[in-house]
Every structure is written in C-alpha cells, then in structure tokens.
Chains A and B, each alone.
Chain A
Amino acid sequence: MAPNSLKHLSNALATPDQLSNSSSSIDNVPSDLETSIRCAGAQLTQAAGVLLHLSQDIIAQAVVIFTRFWLGADGGSLRIYSVKDVSAAALYLTAKLSFQPTSPRSVLNVYTFLLSQDASPLWFVKQGGAPETPPSPETYILSEGGYQSARLVLLRTETSILRTLGFDTHVALPHTIALTYLQTLGVVKPAVARRVIQHLNAALLSPQLLYVTHQPNALAVAAIYLASREEEVKLVDGEWWEVFDVDREELGFLVVGMKSTEGFMRAEVIRWKNKAIPMVVDGVDVEIERRRMMEEGE
C-alpha cells in the first residue's frame, strides 16, 4: 500500500543515462544551444498557457512533460521536432487530461501570435519584446489553410510525446505540497507563500532540470528555505527539512540551483541579444551551420 499512496506525491525521475545523453546531442546539437532552446521552449509554454487562461498547475505539468520529452537517447531531437510544436502539443495534451480542456484551434492561435516576428511579446522571438504600436492583425492571425496543416502537426506531435514517454503523463507538482508544509511550519505571512510559488515556477525554467531530477517534496522544501530567508521570516530551530524527508545535501543543491536560475536567464538575454532563439528545426540547422562556419573561419 505504501508505494501506492505515495504516487500522488512523487514523480518519475530522469535516469543518469537520460541526463548525460540526449537525442539532440547525438544529432550534433551543441549542448549550450540545446539548453538555450529548451529553456526558451519552457518559457514559450508558460506564456502560451497564460494566454489560454489555463491554470498554473496545468501549465507546470505541461512544462515538465515538455522537458522530459527531450531527455535521453530515446527522447526527441531538436533536429527532428520543432520546439514550438512540442511545446504546443505538451500544453494541449495536459489540458486535455485536466478539468480545463482546450481546443486545437485556441492553442494554435496563441502559438501563431507568440511566434509572430512582428507581434510577439517574447524576447527570444522578437527583439525588444512587444511592439509599441499594435501591429496589423495579419501578422499574427492563422489562416484556415495554415490551421489545417498546423492541426495535423499538433496531433502527430501529441502522439510522439505519448510514445516517447511510454504514455506516462503523471506529474506531481510541489506547489500544493509547499503550501501544506508552510502551514505545518506555522508560517502565516502571505509574502512568503507568494515567494515560494515564484521560486517553484521559476525552477520550471531551470537549466539544471530540477523538476525531472528531484521529487516535489524536495523542491517544496528548497523553495520554502529560500523564501523564508528572503522575507526574513524565522523558521523553527533544528533541521526542519528532515521532517519533510529532505536531507541537507539535497536541500543545499536545490537552493543553489533555484538561486542560479535568475542569473542564467539574465545571461541568456544578453547572449541572444541580437538574434532570436530558433524555435523550429530549420532554425536549429541554420544556427548549427552558422557556428560551424564561424569555427572554420577562425
């Protein structure tokens, strides 16, 4: 019975093999490029989820499924699957299983807008983010023909995700666990709770892939640790994290990982200041070719 009752609180984690090999790296995608694209894809998923009015738990689950898809030699390769398609399919699939399903048309409309070179508010699609004056609607509206073909890609990618993950779509999230822990610790300050949720959502974008390497209870504890420090709320004395089954080692690692996400993101914005992060297979090919030429030129 014990393992059964814990399923709701735990996740499948990536194996060492899956973390050290990826299908993309086998296809000669440099690992820094892979990381950049994957993080941008996670942000794209988050933004699309917000525009679709999906609740954050659905969005977070979609980001985790999106992240799992790329891991391991059996995972998806950035030279075969466009990151935008996988992001859209992960979101569509997760919403379908939730209490808030959404239609392919809504999903594709939102992605067309977010990937529009003229209208997108995303820094890694359009430099400078959302334009000052609203662009003409033609630049971000999906035509009927475009919809029909995009729909086929969306549904095909959905099946690819399911096959790659062996149909295991279960994702347990740390957010509600963290709130329970906060209550247990007697923390009543709303600012702490808010900060905890912020850390947990930011960790979805972490280049260290925290959500596929650590169980939700550990993520929750690390976010509480950080938030209570930042908000200067004193927690109980003693090693309280052990009450929540997290050892000091893991907590330390996660705290460092969560704190570094912001710095990583800032560095990314600077690194990609003058060009867009490729969101489709062709773009990845062009970027790899460009890097090869640069190297040869030197």
Chain B
Amino acid sequence: MSSRWANDDPETEAIVAEQKRVKEQKKRAKAEKQRLEEAKKAQARDANANGELGPPTKRRRLSNDPDAHSDDAELLKIEKEQKSQSTLLRFPVGEWGPCRHVDNFERLNHIEEGSYGWVSRARDISTGEIVALKKLKLENSPDGFPVTGLREIQTLLEARHQNVVYLREVVMGNKMDDVFLVMDFHEHDLKALLDEMREPFLPSEIKTVLLQVIGGLEFLHSQWIMHRDLKTSNLLMNNRGELKIADFGMARYFGDPPPKLTQLVVTLWYRAPELLLGADKYGTEIDMWSIGCIFGELLTKEPLLQGKNEVDQVSKIFALTGPPNSETWPGFRLLPNAKSLRFPSTSAPSSAGNPPLLPRSRFPYLTNAGLSLMSGLLALNPASRPTAKQCLDHKYFKEDPRPKPREMFPTFPSKAGMEKRRRHHTPEAPKRGQEAPELDFAGVFGGAPGGDTGEVGAGFSLRLG
C-alpha cells in the first residue's frame, strides 16, 4: 500500500529526485564549508593559545602559509597536521593563581567540628553554588604551616576521582592563618546515615557502598597516597547514591620501601593491629583493615570494634579474630608493643586456612563469600590482607544479590543540609605530635588493666556514650 501522499507520476518523481539530489549536494557543500571553518577556527585558537606561550609551536605552519592557495590545499594541510598532531599527547595544562578571599562565600550553617577543623555549609556568592567550607586549625604550629594541612591540600588536589571529595579551591581570610578548603557539599556522612536508619542497609546496598569506598581507595593507593583515617564519619554520601572519601587530614604520600611513619594514625576503632602493636613501618594494609571495620559496621549499623583504649582495642580485636600465632602472623613478636603480650595457655590453633575465617556467629547474615572477604580484610597479618584492587575482583561482589545501581539507592533527609549535626560517638583521630604511648598489653586476655572482659562476647556489643 502506497501512501496517499505518494506521487505516481514518473515526471514529478524525477523532479523530486532531482530536487533531492541538489539539496543533498548543497547540504554536503555546506557541511564541507562548516568543517573547513571549524578547522580554521581551531587552528586560530591553537595559535592563540600557544603563540604567546613561549614556545612558538606554530611557526612552521606560518611559513608554509604562502603556498597554500586553494581551499583544497588548505584543507588537506589541516587534515595532515591534525593527523600528525594526533600522535602527540597533550598534557593537561594547569595554572596557578592567588587564593580568593573567604568573603566570596556566604556561610549558611554549621555542619560539624572534626579534629582538624570546623566545617560549614556555604554559598558561593558569584555562582550561587552550595559548597562545604572547612576551616583548617592552624594554632600551635611552631613549624609554620602545619604539614598535615599541607598534605591534606596536596593529596586532595592530586586525587581527582569520582569517589574522592572534590577540593575546589583554597581561600583565605583576613589573617594569615585563616585558611579554608572549599569542597563539594554532600548531604550525608555514612555515620550519621547509619545512626538515623531503623534497619541496616540491604546486602545489595552494602555492596554499592563498599565498591565505591574501595574504588576510591584503590585510586588513592595507585597514586601513592595512604588515607590513614578511614571511618564511616569520613565517608560522605549525596542523594544520588554517590560516595566520596573525605577528610585527608591524616593522609600522606608513601614510598617504596616505606619510610618511617608515625604509628599515631587512624581513629582507635578502625586502627589496624600492627599500629596498635607499635609498628613504625607500615603500608596501605592499614587502610584495608579500616575497610574491614567499615564493612562490619555496614552490616550491623554498629561500629565493629569499640575499644575504650589501646589495650581494650587489642583485646577486642583478638576476641574477634583469635590471638595471633607465628603461623598466621610471622614476626608479630618483633613489634615493639608485642613483648608484653601474654597469651592464655589454652590458645589452640584457630580454624584452618590463612588467614583464618572469622567466627560465623558474629556475622550470621553474611554469605560465605562475604565472610571470606571480611576475614581477609581483618587478617591480623597485614601481608594476608587483600589489596584494594584484589577486593574489587572478589567474588562477594559478583554473586547475588548484585550491587544496587546508584540511581536506585534510597534517599534520606539530610542532617547536614539544614541543622547542626549531632556530635558523633566515634573517638577522634589521634593528634599529631603526641607521644606514642608505651603500652602494656599484659592484660589483653582478661584480668589486669584496661581490658573489660565482660563486654567481649560473641553476637553483641555494648554501645559507648
């Protein structure tokens, strides 16, 4: 059936075809012209950009100009140059400029006070965008600008990743020591979110959250950055299901071989056993331990290992994992604080496998794959913990239920958005410059100082505060 608009007359058909052909030709010519113009424009733009910038990269081209008469030759030349240029990689060219003044921002409301500064929600007056403004604490710095603040800025500026909070700029106030970081604003932090929720996240949601944290961390580690203070209150979330790692106040670059570092890092509840035992050489494995603690917290909404002090923390860790032995953690005896450890005589070799699996009773709803990931992350021996990259490939993330798509992630009312946030119950990250405490772990397995054995049961934990 032909349409009633179809024309049967062959003559008109021929005319129509002819018109079509002409139109097509015109269109092609126009496209050609446009392409030419665009190429010219691009060339002019390039010349503008590079011409003044010291290297006269376009000089050769200019000297060729006289022999390029026809448009065709011009086009050919441009095409050729584009081809030859495309083999060269152009580096992203950054610029530097002085800090703007903080008066460019209107402060809206206070969000929280962390150990490294005050954070408030603010509006960029020129663009109207909502940002988070973090004031760095600079008092008591006999050595000038605190190296922690410098590292925070340096690492944030270089760690551009979808799962790392975006540092827009650094602004200053009237005084020399008024320094503010301007960052993207996010509605939630994971800690506040977990506090507010009635039910823990679904397994699929836990995977979405974990994959993003580990993805961001994998990037940081690949850029030689250790975070050193991962915890749920330092993980920000927005209402689009996106997670960002924040608070780089403890972050620093590391090297290979690792330099001597302070053991006073990471908030107590998320601190790896080798740090607690006083290691001054450690690596990215300490971040992986924190991930294990965060994993546990996502499952139950409660921090996994809530020690009252260093000694109590170690005893809580060993209560969960079983005490270390020279098989599961070769060399742990050599760590400075390990000398005072006294193990109960009954300490039987724990379950098979290296690292040994954690007791299933602590995580009743976790699949076998999930438990194996958790056991790897919370392996006492740092060498047994998986790297961030290995975690991403773990079968836990491949099995059902699959990670929930970010856009399907539930949304929550924002605490940071309008009202002052409650102070968290999480202890603070250790202060820089503190003396590393001389720890006596004699009482780790019950009895003497610090250890509160009543709390160390399976299946439940008391909440502090």
Contact = CB atoms under 8 A, between A and B. Distances in A.
A12 B143 contact: no
Interface stretch (B85-93, B328-336, B393-401): B85-93
B86 to A, nearest CB: 11
A3 B160 contact: yes
Tell me the interface secondary structure of chain B in the complex. Answer: loop
A82 B158 CA distance: 31
Interface string A1-43: 0011011111111111001100000000000000000000000
A63 interface: no
Contact of B88 (A12, A19, A155, A247): A247
A103 B87 CA distance: 47
Contacts of A156: 176
B95 A217 contact: no
Size category of the binding interface on chain A:
35 or more
Given A104-B144, A208-B54, A249-B59, A168 B157 contact: yes
Nearest to A162: B145
Interface residues of B, number: 45
B98 A166 contact: yes
Given A249-B59, A253-B54, A12 B96 contact: yes
Nearest to A169: B154
Interface in A209-268: 213-215, 217, 242, 245-250, 253-254
B172 interface: yes
A50 interface: no
Contact of B55 (A68, A158, A163, A214): A214
A44 interface: no
Given A4-B160, A7-B158, A248-B60, A159 B144 contact: yes
Contact of A170 (B89, B144, B154, B255): B154
A165 B154 contact: no
Interface in B8-67: 52-60
A245 B170 contact: no
B143 A96 contact: yes
Given A96-B147, A170-B158, A253-B54, A12 B99 contact: no
Contact of A97 (B99, B154, B170): B154
Nearest to B154: A169
Contacts of B219: 4
Contacts of A72: 97
A16 B95 CA distance: 11
Interface of A: 3-4, 6-16, 19-20, 68, 72, 74, 92-93, 96-97, 99, 101, 103-104, 154-156, 158-159, 162-170, 208, 213-215, 217, 242, 245-250, 253-254
11 contacts: A4-B161, A10-B94, A72-B97, A99-B255, A155-B144, A158-B144, A163-B172, A167-B99, A169-B153, A214-B54, A249-B60
Given A4-B160, A12-B93, A104-B144, 10 more contacts: A3-B92, A10-B93, A96-B144, A97-B150, A163-B99, A164-B98, A245-B89, A246-B88, A249-B57, A253-B55
Q: Which 6 A-B pairs have the closest CB atoms?
A: A12-B94, A16-B52, A155-B144, A10-B91, A213-B54, A167-B170
